Structure 1
Amino acid sequence: MEFVHYLQPDDGLRFAYGDIQLLPPIPEVPKAENPATAPAEEPPADSAATLPPAEQEKSAEEEPAAEQPAEEVPPPEEKPPEIPEETIEELEEEKSYGYLDYVPYGQYYAVDYWFGDATWKKSAELGFNGQTGNTETTSLRVGAKIRREGAATIFTSEFKHLRTSDKEGLTQNNAFFKHKLDWPLKLHENWSLFENTSLEYDEFKAFDMRLVFNGGVSYKPYKTDATDWTLSVGSGFSQEFGSPQKGIIPEATMGSDFSHKITDSQKIALNTDFFPAFAADQGYRFTVDASYTVALDHGLSFKLSAFDRYDSTPNDRKRNDLDYACLLLWEF
């Protein structure tokens, strides 16, 4: 009986039985020959068996003993090569999900869930002073800063508000918000792309609010453990709301961001941004932000700050505004 197994992609499996096949005919057995006429048989190959016992013992002594096969020795177990710790760290970094590469299971409301594991730095600052007597003045300044450094992006955001009043009322009331996003390039660690957005509110300016958006490329000409210097260039636009100057103003952007640790507890920082408009009659702007910080205990620091703003088209207002303050900074 024959069993045949067919595989049909469309119809699945199909079984069939073949027909019974007949066995071939049994061959004929040759007839025995007459012993008288049959030729003499050849002696068996093992002729030693027909020898007398004495000669069998002699031949057994002359024949060498059969070689026994050597026992197989298992090969020694090969130990896996040792991987350096640096290579292990690199492999672990490659497995990390990074920026928009892989979303692992976790807390979906956390930023790291969506943009990968990162290092966070957060700080808040507060400055307050006042005077009573012949002159009554109060001044308040608050601010906050967040920095997130991930595998593929560096996000920075800061906010500050300044308010000063005397007997006649408010003499200063402004607020600033700035956000920056950097994408370090894999071609070279010193180059990166950036996007920058800022909002400025000032009650004593000719505008109610100014929006600035720009982007471009950044380069680090010098970077060490103590010093970090970044140059940037790009283009974008600005628009003022509640101002005599209407419409969107295309403009270029050039900036320098420098920070240096004098000692483990002292640090200086200087940030400069220049915004020339593409049209010559629309003027230009620049800002300078300088600070000196001395670290205290428990995450507290003492900070001296100066912030200067210059606008070549102030619309019947002063072109220059300088804010300076002594602040208490808390990093957490």
Structure 2
Amino acid sequence: MGWFAPQSILLMSLVTLGTLASYARASDQASFEAIGHSYFEQTDSNSSDTEFVHYLMPEDDVQSSLNSVLELPPLPKPPEPKPEEEPAPQPKAEEVEKPEEAKKEEPAEEEDSYGYLEYIPYGQYGHIDYWFGPAKWKNSAELGLNGQTGNTETNSLRVGAKIKREGEGTIFSADIRHLRTSDEEGLTQNNAYVKHKLEWPLKIHERWSVFEKTDIEYDAFKAFDMRLVFNGGVSYKPYKTEATDWTLSVGSGFSQEFGSPQKGIIPEANLGSELTHQITEKQSFQIKFEFYPAFEADQGYRSVTDASYTIALDHGLSLKISAEDRYDSTPNDRKRNDLDYACLLIWQF
């Protein structure tokens, strides 16, 4: 039998396959042992420099794929809460415009003015509105003329003015009047007076107020040349509507006469009542009564009663019929009563 017999060839093939299998098993075991170890911990000394470089610096495509695999996905953002929408305010029943009222245009707001004193020489600091705030002004002037010629000649003149200022904190009123009558023999009447009143409405109740009054009276046919009256107190409105205003007042003060036999200051009390009523849109009347009793009985007392009836005309004009009675219990050899009555034309501005 020769070396190249079929048996010999088969034996050599088996030996070769066994050798290759053992080599492959050894190489696989070495490769598995290298897993989990760094390059320097590997026992295989046959590694090349190329493999070392490839281990430290992988290719771009391999690095990018590793990053994409190892990168964690971003956490989802929580949904933002929606802002709560405030409900639209519902218009009040009073604010709902009626079809007819909606067509009307709102009047422009009036600018602050200084009444009839548009020009103030010393600036705004010289006007009362700067110190006491804006207010409503009610002013009027009155004029009355009477005359007669023939067998007798008489002339009568009466002029006056009234001022009233209603502010937020104070109410100021002033009354100025002058009467002069003459005949063939000369003057038969010549008197004048100036009155003013300042009120402070109280915050505790709108019907109560504190007041101060000052009166200056001049009369050429009385026992005194001039009389000064000053008093103050409180007032109360027991009845007040849009048409009627009734005020009661009580206080105290003093009076003094100059050029009179009665010397010195006379302390006295003050009691008053004032009623104003609007009869119709153009007709009204007013009744005012003031009583001044002295604290000492021998010094007497005084009283003033004033009544008037007014009819409104056109263009700010009014017709006024008035009567005033002044009584003095100590006239010093003069008559105790003085009654003045007149028919006047009033201009309100």
TM-score of the aligned structures, taking structure 1 as reference length: 0.72
Confirm or deny that 1:75 pairs with 2:83: yes
By how many angstroms is 1:298 displaced? 0.5
Confirm or deny that 1:312 pairs with 2:329: yes
Confirm or deny that 1:145 pairs with 2:167: no
By how many angstroms is 1:76 displaced? 3.4
Output the CA distance in 2 between the equivalents of 1:184 and 1:172.
39
Output the CA distance in 2 between the equivalents of 1:84 and 1:119.
31
State how 1:219-298 maps to structure 2 within 5 Å: 219-298=236-315
Aligned residue type for 2:164: R
Relative to its length, the structure with more helix (as a share) is 2
By how many angstroms is 1:78 displaced? 3.3
1:82/1:135 Cα in 2 relative to 1: closer, same or farther (>3 Å)? farther
Question: Paired residue for 2:214?
Answer: 197
Output the CA distance in 1 between the equivalents of 2:144 and 2:286.
19
Deviations 1:149-205 (A, max 9, x none): 000000000100000000000000000110000000000111000000000100000
Question: Paired residue for 2:63?
Answer: none
1:219/1:82 Cα in 2 relative to 1: closer, same or farther (>3 Å)? farther
Residue identity (%): 70
Aligned residue type for 2:273: S
Output the CA distance in 2 between the equivalents of 1:143 and 1:173.
14
The one of 154, 166, 178 equivalent to 2:171 is: 154
By how many angstroms is 1:111 displaced? 1.4
Which residues of structure 2 form unaligned runs of 5+? 1-37, 43-72, 95-111, 113-122
Output the CA distance in 1 between the equivalents of 2:93 and 2:316.
33
By how many angstroms is 1:85 displaced? 12
Q: Structure 1 stretch 176-185 or stretch 70-79: which is displaced more? A: 70-79
By how many angstroms is 1:124 displaced? 0.2
Relative to its length, the structure with more strand (as a share) is 1
* CA-atom RMSD in angstroms: 2.7
Question: Paired residue for 1:173?
Answer: 190
* Aligned residue pairs, count: 256
The one of 196, 204, 226 equivalent to 1:209 is: 226
By how many angstroms is 1:35 displaced? 6.0
Aligned residue type for 1:255: G
Displaced runs of 4+ in structure 1, greater than 4 A? 65-70, 79-86
By how many angstroms is 1:84 displaced? 7.8
Output the CA distance in 2 between the equivalents of 1:214 and 1:81.
55
Question: Paired residue for 1:329?
Answer: 346
Deviations 1:229-277 (A, max 9, x none): 0000000000000000000000000000110000010010011100000
By how many angstroms is 1:109 displaced? 2.2
Output the CA distance in 1 between the equivalents of 2:87 and 2:339.
69
1:79/1:203 Cα in 2 relative to 1: closer, same or farther (>3 Å)? farther
Larger Rg computed on CA atoms: 2
Output the CA distance in 2 between the equivalents of 1:229 and 1:80.
48
Question: Paired residue for 1:135?
Answer: 152
